């Protein structure tokens, strides 16, 4: 199976590029951000907990997010593969993902890291905030999300670099050009296989 992790700071374009990769490779989409927002919309107890973190720009606790992911995989760990959009975001989640996939005799194929400078990220998220209605798309919360990303999420780059799976992609430019760089990295996997 082709199991892609889309990695990057908030606003780096993970959701945007996921849609295109799904269309290209027929993958199942797993976005932990979407899963959390669904719980919030449905008014579940778990959603209330998730909301209390998301609205402050903090990460939802690992046990909650890992539980949501495991539930999804029970339903959709199928060929041709999966795209993990915004998961993992901590080392604990990265290690958990390896263990969960191993239960299905699967592994992460590639980690595509969208590289975007901080000023551009802030501008994109503020712009999205004008229409998204998301509680976390305002300047104060965006700054907190970026801080959390640097402290808790970037150590995963070394984790995947050590596994030889990290591919950095320039995430500034046209959506189609960025997509083309990703496709070229993914298609290399088929050449090697």
Which residues participate in catalysis according to the annotation? 14, 89, 128, 134, 145
| C-alpha closest to that of 11 among 133, 102, 145, 167 | 145
For tokens 């004008």, what's the residue?
130
For ligand B4P, what does the binding mask look like between residues 4 and 43, x meaning CB under 6 A?
A: ----x-xxxxxxx--------------xxx--x-------
Considering the complex, state which of residue 77 and residue 93 has its C-beta at the smaller distance from ligand B4P.
Answer: 93
Angle between helices 32-42 and 45-54 (to 10 degrees): 120
Q: Does 159 bind ligand B4P (CB under 6 A)?
A: no
List beta partners, residue 168: 113
Pick the binder of ligand B4P from 38, 91, 98, 128 (CB under 6 A): 128
- Scored b (16 or more CB within 10 A) or e, 47-66 reads bebbbebbeebbbbebebbb
* Rg, Å, the chain Cα set: 16
Site residues for ligand B4P, 89-108, by CB under 6 A, read 89, 93
Pick the binder of ligand B4P from 82, 96, 112, 178 (CB under 6 A): 178
Considering the complex, state which of residue 7 and residue 77 has its C-beta at the smaller distance from ligand B4P.
Answer: 7
CA 111, CA 160: separation in Å to the nearest integer? 7
User: Which spans of this chain sit near ligand B4P (rule: CB under 6 A)?
Assistant: 8, 10-16, 31-33, 36, 53-54, 59-60, 65, 86-89, 93, 124, 128, 136, 145, 175, 178
């Amino acid at each position: 199976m082709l199991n892609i992790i889309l990695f990057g700071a908030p606003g780096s374009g993970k959701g945007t590029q996921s849609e295109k990769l799904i269309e290209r490779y027929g993958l199942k989409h797993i976005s932990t951000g979407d899963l959390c927002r669904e719980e919030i919309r449905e008014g579940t107890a778990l959603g209330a907990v998730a909301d209390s973190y998301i609205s402050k720009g903090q990460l939802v606790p690992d046990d909650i997010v890992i539980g949501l992911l495991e539930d999804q995989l029970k339903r959709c760990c199928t060929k041709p593969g999966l795209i993990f959009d915004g998961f993992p975001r901590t080392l604990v989640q990265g290690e958990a993902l390896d263990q969960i996939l191993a239960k299905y005799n699967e592994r992460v194929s590639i980690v595509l890291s969208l590289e975007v400078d901080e000023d551009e990220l802030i501008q994109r998220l503020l712009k999205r905030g004008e229409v998204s209605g998301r509680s976390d798309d305002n300047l104060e919360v965006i700054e907190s999300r970026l801080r959390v990303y640097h402290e808790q999420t970037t150590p995963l780059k070394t984790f995947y670099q050590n596994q030889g799976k990290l591919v950095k992609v320039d995430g500034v430019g046209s959506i189609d050009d960025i997509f083309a760089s990703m496709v070229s990295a993914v298609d290399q996997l088929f050449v090697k296989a």
